[in-house]
Amino acid sequence: MKNKSETERLYKQLVKRFVRWANTRSDIRGAIIVGSRARVDHPADEWADLDVIVITMDPEYYLATNDWLENIGSPLLTFVEPTAAGDEMERRVLFEGMLDVDFSIIPKEKVQQLVQVGIPPQIKAQIANVFGRGMFVLLDKDGTIAQLQGFISATEMSTHRRPSQQKFLEVVNDFIYHSVWTTIKLCRGELWTAKECSDAYMKRLLLQMIEWHASAIRGWNYDTWFKGRFLEEWADPMVLKGLQNSFAQYNEEDIKRGLLATIDLFRRTAMETAERLGYSYPIEADECVTEWVRKRLSEK
């Protein structure tokens, strides 16, 4: 079990070293802590990582090299991957003591453009996810972050809007289609591909429906967080019960069982959501596909 006070002390030391070093770097124009270590609602526990957004005029240096990390701590390993939004890159680092730090490297010109032009509607929800739940400014050499905070404060927190009938049906039809696709993979003996679809792709569609379901019941300002965070707190009890049986072990019979449980949970959640929204639901297509899936799986 981690010692929370000791972990917090080590992270604070790391942050102090980062700020001291970043102040010597002319290309680093700002830095912000986001995530649980900047949140009041669901703040950091002893397992929380540290998320730092670095605003720089030389992003390539921090993505192409890792020698700069020695100025901050003793890295055990590091790698580069896309940010959660997928539009920028981040360097993830595991420092000595199992300190997990995520440096999102953001070009200065991109932040400046947001300040000058404003936040495009298509990325408002993305910004709300990153900044709206809490942020702690470490550096703001040009005052750009202070300007950006004005836009952030005006961004609505809720990231789940009432879907249109068309958008609702897109998700439903996508899910039903992949019920067939996954069954075909199972019939071919492609267990990895079938499980990946059932327990990853189809679960993402299920999560979208779970979010809509919760909002349709509780109101569209109801906080469903993002990417399943704290789902156990905000999802309907029926959903939580159904999820207990929807994930599978890596064997043919259990993947079949998990797939059918996922189909059943999605249908119940989607039909209740459709009823709440006054939308149509493709019940005939659903029943036809489900009957076919059950028949093929029973023959396998």
Please determine, for residue 161, whether its predicted confidence score (pLDDT) is greater than 70. yes
**273 CB neighbour count, 10 Å cutoff:** 24
Average pLDDT over residues 128-156: 76
- Specify the range with the lowest mean pLDDT, choosing from 192-196, 223-227, 240-244: 223-227
pLDDT band at 95 (very low <50, low <70, confident <90, very high): very high
What local confidence, expressed as pLDDT, does residue 62 receive? 97
Q: What average pLDDT does range 191-203 have in this prediction?
A: 98
Count of other CB atoms within 10 angstroms of residue 198 = 28
Give the residue carrying structure tokens 């469903």: 224
Chain-centroid distance of CA 157 in Å reads: 15
The domains of the chain are located at 4-153, 165-299
Task: Give the model's pLDDT for residue 133.
Answer: 80
Q: Report the pLDDT value the prediction gives residue 208, as an integer from 0 to 100.
A: 97
Smallest Cα–Cα separation from 79: which of 67, 61, 98, 63? 63
SS (H, E, C) 101-144: EEEEEEEHHHHHHHHHHCCCHHHHHHHHHHHHCCEEEEEECCCH
Which of 150 and 8 is assigned the larger pLDDT?
8
Residue 29 has a pLDDT of 96
pLDDT tens digit string along 260-298? Answer: 999 999 999 999 999 999 999 999 999 999 999 999 999
Tell me the DSSP string of the chain. ---HHHHHHHHHHHHHHHHHHHTT-TTEEEEEEEGGGG-SSS---TT--EEEEEEES-HHHHHH--GGGGGT--EEEEEEEE-TTSSSEEEEEEETTTEEEEEEEEEHHHHHHHHHH---GGGHHHHIIIIIT-EEEEEETTSHHHHHHHHHHTS-S---PPPPHHHHHHHHHHHHHHHHHHHHHHHTT-HHHHHHIIIIIHHHHHHHHHHHHHHHHH-TTS---STTTTHHHHS-HHHHHHHTTT---SSHHHHHHHHHHHHHHHHHHHHHHHHHHT----HHHHHHHHHHHHHHHHH-
The set of residues, in sequence order, having a beta carbon less than 8 Å from that of 92 and lying 6+ positions away, is 78, 79, 80, 81, 100, 101, 102, 103
Predicted local confidence at residue 49, as pLDDT: 94
Q: Which residue has the higher pLDDT, 143 or 235?
A: 235
pLDDT at residue 158 is higher than 50 = no
Give the distance, in angstroms, between the CA of residue 254 and the centroid of all CA atoms in the same chain: 27
Q: What pLDDT is recorded for position 118?
A: 63
Q: For the residues 161-180, what does the mean pLDDT come to?
A: 97
Distance CA 286, CA 263 (A): 9
Specify whether the CB–CB gap between 103 and 52 falls below 8 A.
yes
- Just give the CATH number of 4-153: 3.30.460.10
The correct CATH number of 165-299 out of 1.10.3720.10, 2.60.40.1580, 2.60.40.730, 1.20.120.330 is 1.20.120.330
Percent of the chain with pLDDT over 90: 74
Write phi, then psi, for 89 (nearest 5 degrees): -115, 160
Looking at the predicted structure, is the pLDDT value of residue 113 above 60?
Answer: yes
pLDDT for 10 beyond 50 = yes
d(CA 56, CA 26): 9
Q: Identify which of 30, 32, 80 has the alpha carbon closest to the alpha carbon of residue 53.
A: 32
Least confident of 87-96, 105-114, 163-172, 275-284: 105-114
pLDDT at 129 over 70: no
Q: What is the pTM of this model?
A: 0.85
